[in-house]
Structure 1
């Protein structure tokens, strides 16, 4: 059976109880994106019956239901667009759908939309602490610039934490009292303390420290509990606002290459270059010149005192009591790829006619591996973390025992079996999967169809859904994970 819905784009799929929940971007009427609620698929009648169509706002990007299916939280991302006559940057919002108590999704609902207008008068404080107000042209407000994207719940499901990716912050939302409590800036990563490859024109893997601050700009987020204390995991993909193709936005694009910027002679950048042998050559293409950075932050007059790059190229852990960062993977993601899959190092996976290895290093200048997806599973006393790496398609596995500042790298898996073939050839032979593994879901042995722990992976670029069997875990969760092996089902 096929259900065709015209003029929409499905942005997420969730299942709760007896119902399927699907947010949709309304391509014909952008302000009126919706969440559709369906009954579980009836195998006898072969029907997917619609229960509710709930209008929630412009571009609902993610939804998350509470475990009792009584409440659905919606991240209304509200990306900018042109409505046919002028440029529009809608207000970002958090939506809360409540069904009648003890009656569930079949009952009447109440929808509450929470905006960010109260922060329009003190966004300067947020920016000073490491948040971002990106598009300020056309008299734009901070509440319109905010773009809610990913959601995770507190342990008691009374609080929702919502990622504001391009704004480099996390919103804290009281689900019960329906109020945005705070915006927590994420701050910056100092790349002089770590290493990364900054050039796509050096024809090599060149990991080293650079005088750059990284904006985390996280995509997926996940709350975990270790020793009765809650932490927030962030997959620091990086993103930016480029409105150059949207009529009415004045060609706005916040990204520039370092080679095009005027770096102040008195800056810490210039001092670092002098101390590290890069005087006069720092902005060459084989060094830092090709790196894409923000042309908004770090600028004083016509010169740049600090460089801010997009993304953290890894994962961070934040204390949910203090909202301070307690751990970052640093250089480890890029280093592990360089060691285990060098021909996929910062490679692209978007063009079918490219030989996989020919794209190696092509994303080093632009957010690198792009750690995007994130899942965490509690297996015995161990928290297992799965990181979906977009470029071109890998999954890194880490474990946490009793100390969130001491993660152990376990393994690195890829669904791309060869690097000497084109992506198209691999698709044609049906031997490729999980290119851009954006959504990862752990399935415990108790819930698994074959009694084994599985990882469900959607490949956004490959258009695949994969079931991967996780080796090294007994059905009772008694063994520590060792590695992800081949797909569980052929």
Structure 2
């Protein structure tokens, strides 16, 4: 689709669905007028109905969330306290804290997953992140007592449980020490779970490692392997699992910094393949890459950007497995080594310059290209794109796709949202286009990763599959119909945020009025598992420290109640 057609198609999404209302009790962190923006004839309406506030700003007090249907509790990872907050959501309009689960002194809990019978598994990072970690087991319906422990790999960042409940899988990210004195091997722990909570003493932990890819030529071309010279000596040390989804006996693992997807056979606990995920070509997919142009300027550039997904989820369509990837982007930026630079830095501070004739430009055109109002401010990697002799950059690479993709089980991309997220944000909140989360502003993140998609959850409603994608910076959730993977389509966008309150500028006193800041983890609750019989979405927001529940209403099934989707905001494509 041409740029002009893409823009026209997204502009049509400005029409709002109206005529529905949902009565909810007043709550400080539920803003008066959530931002909403829907496609014509949108099949779903989404509105915040309840929230729990920690009152802690920008300290990751609400991150990953998991729901247990039988007890109607939500587990929320609170990295600030190092615990899991257990919320009662039997009344989703008024979630309340019951207790917290503590893994012990000098530890941090990074992730949690819950089985249908209440068996909960959480990942525990020790004070030394390069040391081996643990998982703890507890009863989601219990009082928070830790019932068992098991050792796993270094920096266990994420845990999930298979559909049949027989296994838990842990992504051991194994980041290096800040000084690169230690760089552990990345791995996936495969934990065989007992039939019930009484068998926790006998859990088996196996390790799916990446050592088979240490052999020369074993790793496919396009998988990023890099770091401080001499510190990471093997591929297995360099690969860093981030997030896991499972389907049909396989685990699919995002290797974010490596821009790749690993496939693990669960039965044998072996890594079968590592697939590169490629780039977004900005000569075809436009982006706004400057925060100094004083405009919404979504256009094409001679740059490529790595997808680098954070959260991923999987589903089946037509008998095949597909993976939805939230293409956040992420760099290695440690005390002893950093790959980050800006386009205007190339050719100075020991960095190679842009090659003569880059993208067919003259020397004068390259200098114009390097200006702050053009590409100069864009955050890029210094690792990729050099000529064979390292003398200059023949291709510039940025971070993140600023949207989401759908790939098949072999990592082949069948859909990409291209520039739709930025175009939709430009229509929905033009005055706060690409705002940061900690402060409200215009265009503040265009030079980095834009809206920064991070979390994703999938849900089935009326026989169709929907993806809910959280935007870490500007905030809110994009909802897409992904029933047909090759033809995913925008449904609605909702953001429980009041941009008139900027916490970084005005302080914690306005935290409740600002609403949700920095969506991190998302969990979809089907109507059958919901305390009210309505589909729900739970979002943990790490910057505002809030956990917010959204009501999801089908507008095609004749439901009598649903959100009002009138934001009261003007639409437009420029400031």
Q: Say whether the fold is shared (TM-score over 0.5).
A: yes
Match of 2:466 among 355, 376, 384: 384
Q: Distance in 2 between matches of 1:108 and 1:484?
A: 51
Residue in structure 1 matched with residue 447 of structure 2 by the alignment: 365
Q: Residue 19 of structure 1 contacts residue 105 of structure 1 at CA under 8 Å; is this kept in 2?
A: no
Matches within 5 A, 1:223-372: 223-244=314-335, 249=336, 252-261=337-346, 262-267=353-358, 269=359, 271=360, 273=361, 278-300=365-387, 301-320=390-409, 322-350=410-438, 354=439, 356=440, 359-372=441-454
Q: Offset at 1:143?
A: 0.9
- The 1:3/1:411 distance shift into structure 2, 3 A limit, reads closer
Establish whether residue 132 from structure 1 lines up as the match of residue 204 from structure 2: no
Q: Take 2:225 and 2:558, find their aligned partners in 1: how far apart are those partners?
A: 47
Count of residues in Structure 1 that have an aligned counterpart in Structure 2:
455
Q: Separation in 1 of the partners of 2:286 and 2:212?
A: 39
Instruction: Map Cα deviations across residues 9-46 of structure 1 (whole Å, 9 max, x no partner).
Output: 1101211122221111111474121100012343xxxx
C-alpha change, 1:448 and 1:2, in structure 2 (3 Å) is closer
The worse-fitting range, judged by mean Cα deviation, of 440-449 and 13-22 is 13-22
Residue 147 of structure 1 contacts residue 166 of structure 1 at CA under 8 Å; is this kept in 2? yes
**Cα distance in 2, alignment partners of residues 450 and 426 from structure 1:** 33
Aligned partner of 2:119 in structure 1 is 19
1:417 aligns with 2:498: yes
1:278 Cα shift?
4.1
**1:37 paired to 2:117:** no
- 2:159 counterpart residue number: 63
In 2, the alpha carbon distance for the partners of 1:303 and 1:274 equals 15
CA distance in 1, matches of 2:218, 2:386: 16
Measure how far apart 1:444 and its partner are: 1.1
For the 8 Å contact 2:264–2:272, the answer to whether it is kept is yes
Q: Does 1:469 align with 2:557?
A: no
Q: Is the 8 A contact 1:77 1:93 kept in 2?
A: yes
Counterpart CA distance in 1 for 2:502 and 2:160 is 39
How far off its partner does 1:324 sit?
Answer: 1.3
Confirm whether residue 161 of structure 1 aligns to residue 252 of structure 2: yes
Q: CA 1:465–1:294 in structure 2 vs 1: closer, same or farther (change >3 Å)?
A: same
The answer to which structure, 1 or 2, has the higher relative contact order (CA under 8 A, 6+ apart) is 2
Q: Paired residue for 2:173, among 74, 77, 102?
A: 77
Per the TM alignment, residue 124 of structure 1 is displaced from its structure 2 partner at its CA by 7.3
Going from structure 1 to structure 2, the CA distance change for 1:185 and 1:2 (only over 3 Å counts) comes to: closer
Relative to structure 1, the CA distance from residue 444 to residue 41 in structure 2 (aligned partners, 3 Å threshold; closer, same or farther) is: closer
2:244 aligned residue: 151
CA gap 1:429/1:285 in 2 versus in 1, 3 angstroms: closer
The residue that corresponds to 2:108 in the other structure is: 9
Structure 1 counterpart of 2:295, from 192, 201, 204 = 204
Deviations 1:304-346 (A, max 9, x none): 00011111110011122x4311110000001100111123322
CA separation of 1:239/1:338 partners in 2, compared to 1, >3 Å: closer, same or farther?
Answer: same
Summarize the Cα distance change of 1:29–1:79 in structure 2 as closer, same or farther, 3 Å threshold.
closer
Alignment RMSD: 2.6
Tell me the equivalent position of 1:53: 149
Q: Counterpart of 2:187?
A: 93
User: What secondary structure is seen at the aligned counterpart in 1 of 2:280?
Assistant: strand
Instruction: Mark the CA change 1:441 to 1:485 in structure 2 (over 3 Å): closer, same or farther.
Output: farther
With normalisation by structure 2, the TM-score equals 0.74
After TM superposition, the score normalised by the length of structure 1 is 0.87
Q: 1:99 to 1:87 in 2, by over 3 A?
A: same
Report the CA distance shift for 1:138/1:318 in structure 2 as closer, same or farther (over 3 A).
same
Q: Secondary structure at the match of 2:431?
A: helix
Structure 1 unmatched ranges of 5 or more: none
